[in-house]
Amino acid sequence: MFDQLRARGFDIEFRSHAKAILKVDFPDVADQLQEVLLTSTIPIEEIIGSGGGEAKGTQRLRNALAAHEWHKHIFVVQRTIDGIERESQSHEIDHVKKFESGTVALEIEWNNKDPFFDRDLENFKRLHADGGISLGIIVTRGASLQVAMKQLVRRFVDEHQVNSHDDMRRIGLSRTRRQIADVTKRVERAKNPIPFREAWTDHFVSDKFGAATTHWSKLQDRVSRGVGNPCPLVLIGLPDTIVTFGEDPNELRKLLDEND
Residue ranges of domains in the chain: 3-162+195-259
Euclidean distance between CA atoms 9 and 168, whole angstroms: 31
Decide which of 3.30.465.10, 3.40.228.10, 3.90.650.10, 3.40.91.20 is the CATH code for 3-162+195-259.
Answer: 3.40.91.20
Euclidean distance between CA atoms 109 and 139, whole angstroms: 6
Angle between helices 56-67 and 249-259 (to 10 degrees): 90
- Residue 14: per-residue pLDDT: 97
CA-closest candidate to residue 145, choices 224, 63, 70, 37: 37
C-beta of residue 138 within 8 angstroms of C-beta of residue 120:
yes
Secondary structure letter of residue 213 according to DSSP: B
Query: What does the pLDDT look like over 159-172, one tens digit per residue?
Result: 999 999 898 888 77
Coil, strand or helix at 260:
coil
Query: What does the pLDDT look like over 233-253, one tens digit per residue?
Result: 999 999 999 999 976 666 656
- Residue 142: per-residue pLDDT: 97
Is the entire prediction scored with pTM above 0.85?
Answer: yes
